Chain A
């Protein structure tokens, strides 16, 4: 035995150290926080940080920009010699280099550069407000719709009737009736827009409604509202974020498309869709009027989509390992 061998240094041997199960229980697991883990996973990817910085820049320029570069699309409307000037022609016409004429002038002598900045603010604001309204109503109604069988019967009839009316047709009719201002356009986009989200959500809720822990909550007498907020919605966070990632850019696309076909926002409100529509007939002759709003609209859509997808991935707890 080693104990009897004087050649072995006793201090170098392994010794048994008693384990204290209770204190090991106390220190073993760090606290798990869902949102902290979401952001840890999100910031692990370099691309996400780049995308976030670009988005911050876009937001800064489009919301602070109009204060520094006030856009007035009618300022040169009386002077026909300022119409459709290329950047170089506009700068020489208005006396030297200035940011304002960086992208030339539009069909009414308006500054394209200032116009794009003001328009992207309109588009982003529109997308955020529409997404917020539609998602909130859609999720709340969808949760109740999926949870309660009696609500389901009524809502299915409502859904079948309204969902069969073509969305574009409904919006164009509404815009004709109530006018094409900013808020009436939002009203038209949200009056039935939440229905599709609610329907999608209903299915998701139904899948997890009858799980055993929800049954256990019923046995404990938990009210429906808390079953929804504690047992169902936390499991759908990643679904909600994924949905947001596709909804948010889709409103920008929708505005551009509707303005392009002529039923969107009124001409007095600077919007990307309206700018594209005005320039599309002459985009070969005056390309500086057409491409800037197209590129900006695409960039905002792509950035929002990329960001949403990364957030959706990060909000899936299976990626938190």
Chain B
């Protein structure tokens, strides 16, 4: 896919999210901008508390934006929008939650949980059509129609996450924010859920914003990766590009933290620790996010960017 063919589906521009007021104010997201193209999977990685989930929730409009704007399909969706547009956006953008135990209503049957969105938007012709739709989606996510009358506590973690996926996908959205959908799951069932996400992407042409902190999984699932640290974007690149040429020291430290499935190598491995004070001198010039070619953007000042360009083009470190 060349750059011209790509259509921007969701665009985040200079987004700030601030919690609290006055002296207690905490800037969780600081001047973040990136685009998500139609049909791709964009991953948002960073350590705990870096603002990944906050960005995802800003897109879902759970957290209000303090500055900047979010555009979906060219239309602004942050701030105040008309009721009709609001409903439209709710239907098109869906979310898969991190903790499948907490995100399902314990006192509702699986049937109600999956039908909830259908009821809200009346996306069915009659009762029969609704039942047919939920039975179809339940089978698509690998559950049985017999499960519909049960309650969430009767299911395993993996099954609950399938229910969570079913309730989003039955709405036929275009864009899904997947907020660490596998981090609460057992390692053995992570692959099943990831495969399911991939399957729906191919079948329904979905676009994903995949929020994760585990780079090894991100490499497998994503087209492009955004690395964030303390609410700022550090690096944006295509997945293979990022793993081949990690330029920002924070990205390097994240990649060095991926466990190696060999105890001898793992034991000898030297962890690369990121310490902003050690790596950057921003006393003369403030850093910016700069495009250095090959669809690769890095956060740094002029001097750093020159160094990064040299490394990228193989002119020695």
Q: Which residues of A contact B (CB under 8 A)?
A: 22, 25-26, 29, 31-32, 34, 211-213, 215-223, 226, 230-231, 234-235
Contact = CB atoms under 8 A, between A and B. Distances in A.
Given A26-B146, A213-B102, A230-B108, A220 B97 contact: no
B102 A220 contact: no
A221 B164 CA distance: 15
Nearest to B120: A221
B71 to A, nearest CB: 19
A173 to B, nearest CB: 43
Given A32-B151, A213-B104, A220 B99 contact: no
Closest 8 pairs between A and B when the two form their complex, measured CB to CB: A234-B107, A221-B90, A212-B102, A220-B117, A213-B105, A212-B103, A221-B120, A219-B95
B181 to A, nearest CB: 13
Contacts of A216: 95, 97, 103-104, 164, 167
B117 A221 contact: yes
A29 to B, nearest CB: 5
Contacts of B147: 25
Given A216-B95, A220-B117, A221-B121, 9 more contacts: A25-B146, A26-B144, A29-B154, A213-B105, A215-B97, A216-B164, A217-B116, A221-B117, A235-B107
B112 interface: yes
B262 to A, nearest CB: 35
Contacts of B107: 34, 230, 234-235
Contacts of B154: 29, 32
B11 interface: no
Contacts of A212: 97, 99, 102-103
A258 to B, nearest CB: 39
B98 to A, nearest CB: 8
Contacts of A235: 106-107
Contacts of A25: 144, 146-147
A34 B150 CA distance: 12
B144 A219 contact: no
Contact of B91 (A213, A217, A221, A222): A221
B87 A215 contact: no
Contacts of B106: 213, 235
A101 B171 CA distance: 73
B62 interface: yes
Q: Which of A213, A215, A230 has the most CB of B within 10 A?
A: A213
Contact of B116 (A211, A215, A222): A222
